[in-house]
């Protein structure tokens, strides 16, 4: 996931998702995004559920 602004002036307010992972990893990412958008946005909980969870730019 990358901030949309990195892809030009019209990308602000959007995110870009690269689908280059295996299906299992994509399903996990989809579940995490769905959970975040539905208000269950506790990042610590997401990290506990998926040890490999990472945010773009989080270092």
What is the pLDDT at residue 51?
62
Q: Which residue, among 28, 19, 17, has the nearest Cα to 50 in the 3D structure?
A: 28
What is the pLDDT at residue 57?
45
In the chain, where the domains are located: 2-49
Q: Each residue of 9-49: pLDDT tens digit?
A: 788 888 777 778 888 888 888 888 888 788 766 666 666 66
């Amino acid at each position: 996931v990358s901030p949309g602004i990195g892809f030009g002036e019209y990308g602000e307010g959007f995110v870009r998702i690269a689908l280059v992972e295996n299906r299992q990893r994509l399903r996990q990412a989809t579940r995490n995004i769905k959970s975040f958008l539905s208000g269950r946005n506790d990042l610590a909980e997401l990290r506990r559920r998926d040890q490999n969870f990472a945010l773009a730019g989080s270092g």
